Amino acid sequence: MASSSAVGKLSREEFRRQKDLDAARKAGTAPAALDEEGRPINPHIPQYISQAPWYLDTGAPSLNHQRRPGADDRTSTITDGWYDRSLKSGPAAKKYRKGACENCGAITHKRQDCLERPRKKGAKFTNTNIAPDEIIQNVEAGYDAKRDRWNGYDTSEHKKIYEEYEAVEAERQRLREEEIDNQTTTDLAAVRKVAKAGKTEKEGDADFGSSDEEDADEDKYADAADAVGQKMDTKTRITVRNLRIREDTAKYLINLDPSSAYYDPKTRSMRDNPSQNVPPEDAQFAGDNFLRYSGEAPEVQELQLFAWTSAARGNDVHLNANPTQGQLLHKEYKEKKEVLKDTSKQSVLSKYGGAEYLESVPKELLQGQSEEYVEYSRTGQVIHGKERVKTRSKYPEDVLINNHTSVWGSYYEVASGLWGYGCCHSTVHISYCTGEAGKDAARASSAQNLLMSSASAAPLAADSTSKSLVETHLEKGDPDRKGKGKGKEVDQGRIVDGLSEERKRKARVDDGDDRFNKKSKNEGHEGKKFDVTEEELEKYRMNRRMTEDPMANYVDQDL
């Protein structure tokens, strides 16, 4: 960029040419301007920096007005060369000198600046092993030399590092060759080596072994080479670089709706389907998860995981080098795993039991659904199809024994309050069925019992001197009432009437009438405490149920 434009006023045409030249220099089509020393001037430097003021303008392109005056004079030539460091001046002194380092004995530095290991007793006190003095050069380093981190570095030191790494690499290569020689012929490198050896033998070459080309590093270490752009080691990296062809549509451009599938720009992954209304089979891109779990991809992932796990455990399995070997080993591994699983299962079941709980229930019972079609009417009757089976309880139902046609409990006798069979009216449990004859016998027995109860009431009425059980009980409990009971006889006629009324009352209870008539019962006893008479107590005693007798249900087991 010329600064001579500030000397005189340019015409319109010259100004236009200057602008075109500056644009061409910025675009790189025109060479850059040179200063007095022949160094190119950056055309992108702003004009207020490249243009010199009027009192420093020389009329030629230059940047000297931006440099400090005398900067080149202060810059030492030490930056162009190398100065010696840690050089000794000659033989060491024989004894300690005053003002020298108390640790090593050198006169060129003090104890706090000594670089040797601190001694238990310094040279000041022992006067032995005094270090020689160093050569100190008076270097006047300039601004750049003071801040140059490589100032004074000897480039020959790097040669030692390079030689050390070369020795390590040669030893690694030798160990790799021994490992290949010990491997089986299934290994790809060993197969190549055998083929190379056979070819050499046919040609008549007496030298047997791998050539330099075979032992090249790119063939041996191609598997362990790190991929470009990856900072992880290939032995621990299990991810695959997610790249796409430039001509394909990017994932984030398939659906521009912000609420669609999430796209991760760092990993370039879109796991969900961006087109929700389109089936995954017909979509242009159905998401990474659909591709990852479709087809044979899961099997390949399992095989790759098996290869990585086996390699980590010391086995020589590589999916890319020998896929057939990996598949066979994986198949053998799954078979052994199933056998071991069955063996462990059988051992656990034989030790603890519980095999019946492992039997799977039919699918129809689990879901409560079946393929049977049943059509019902409005009243609930089955029109088409099989009628649904009624739910049964865990107890046995409809079990008929001893020729009975009805179950126990289908009949109830009101007079005695006993349950029985409805087919024969038998109140004896587990009895033999007699059919209609049993019903007739039961009716006749009930009528006979009624007549016997009536007949037993007649002698009580004829014998006015007989005592009831209540009186006898009272006389036993209270001896003073023995004489009193003679004058208070129980009216047997009222007892007979009471028995008939009690039977009528029970009949009304069975028909659903009111059991007690409190109004009629308390008639004539208003204002007095109601007491049970002896006649009513005798009626209760004679009409009580047989179930209250503790010997009513006794069955002799010896008969």
Condensed to tens digits (0 to 9), the pLDDT of residues 6-56 reads 446 778 899 899 899 989 988 888 888 888 888 888 999 888 888 888 888
Number of domains in the chain: 6
CA 54 to chain CA centroid, Å, is: 79
The full DSSP string for 174-208 is: HHHHHHHHHS-TTSHHHHHHHHHHHHHHHTT----
Output the pLDDT for position 549.
64
Q: What are phi and psi of 124, to 5 degrees?
A: -65, -35
Q: Which long-range contacts (CB under 8 A, 24 or more apart) does 38-47 make?
A: 41/1, 43/1, 45/1, 47/1
Amino acid identity, position 364: E
Query: Which of 462, 485, 518 corresponds to the end of one domain?
Result: 462
Label the pairing between strands 382-384 and 375-376: antiparallel
Q: 100 and 58: one domain? A: no
The reply to whether 84 falls in a domain is no
Shared domain check, 541 and 470: yes
281 and 260 belong to one structural domain: yes
Asked whether residue 507 falls in the same domain as residue 539, the answer is yes
Q: HSE, CB side, 13 Å, CA atoms: give it for residue 334.
A: 9
Q: Is the pLDDT of residue 268 over 80?
A: yes
pLDDT tens for 61-116 read 888 888 877 655 544 444 455 566 677 888 889 899 999 999 999 999 999 999 99
Within-domain flag for 204? yes
| Closest residue by Cα to residue 170 from 109, 105, 215, 230 | 215
- Assigned domain for 340 exists: no
C-beta separation of 416 from 545 below 8 A = yes
Considering the domain boundaries, does residue 237 fall inside one? no
Calpha distance 469→488 (Å, rounded):
14
Q: Do 51 and 31 lie in a common domain?
A: yes
**Within a domain: 353:** no
Residue 368 lies in a domain: no
Query: What DSSP designation does 6 have?
Result: G
Residues 290-305 have pLDDT tens digits of 877 777 888 888 999 9
User: Percentage of residues in the chain with pLDDT exceeding 90?
Assistant: 14
Asked whether residue 291 falls in the same domain as residue 325, the answer is yes
Is residue 256 located within the same domain as residue 318? yes
Higher pLDDT: 230 or 539? It is 539
Q: What is the pLDDT of residue 202?
A: 52
User: Is there a contact between 128 and 94 (Cβ–Cβ < 8 Å)?
Assistant: no
Could you tell me the two tokens for 306?
Answer: 């098996």
The answer to whether residue 401 sits within a structural domain is yes
- For residue 245, the model assigns a pLDDT of 74
Evaluate whether 234 touches 223 at the Cβ level (below 8 Å).
yes
Query: Of the candidates 290, 307, 335, which is a domain's last residue?
Result: 335
Does residue 261 fall inside a structural domain?
yes
Same domain, 330 and 255: yes
Same domain for 450 and 473: no
Q: Is residue 488 located within the same domain as residue 531?
A: yes
Instruction: Provide the residue count of the chain.
Output: 559
- Token pair 């795993």 in the structure block, residue: 337
What amino acid is encoded at 267 in this protein?
T
Same domain? 65 vs 28: yes
**CA dist., res. 272 & res. 278, Å (int):** 12
Specify the pLDDT at position 475: 58
Amino acid 426: pLDDT: 87
Q: Which of 335, 356, 380 is the last residue of a domain?
A: 335
pLDDT digits (tens, 9 = 90+) for 188-223: 655 566 666 665 555 554 444 444 444 444 444 444
Helix axes 297-312, 323-352, angle to 10 degrees: 80
For residue 484, the model assigns a pLDDT of: 44
Q: With contact defined as beta carbons under 8 Å apart, do 422 and 410 qualify?
A: yes
* pLDDT the model gives residue 144: 83
Q: Is the pLDDT of residue 440 over 90?
A: no
Question: In 240-284, which ranges are E strands?
Answer: none
136's tokens: 């100190």
The whole domain housing 255 covers 251-335
Q: Both 106 and 123 in a single domain?
A: yes
d(CA 427, CA 420): 4
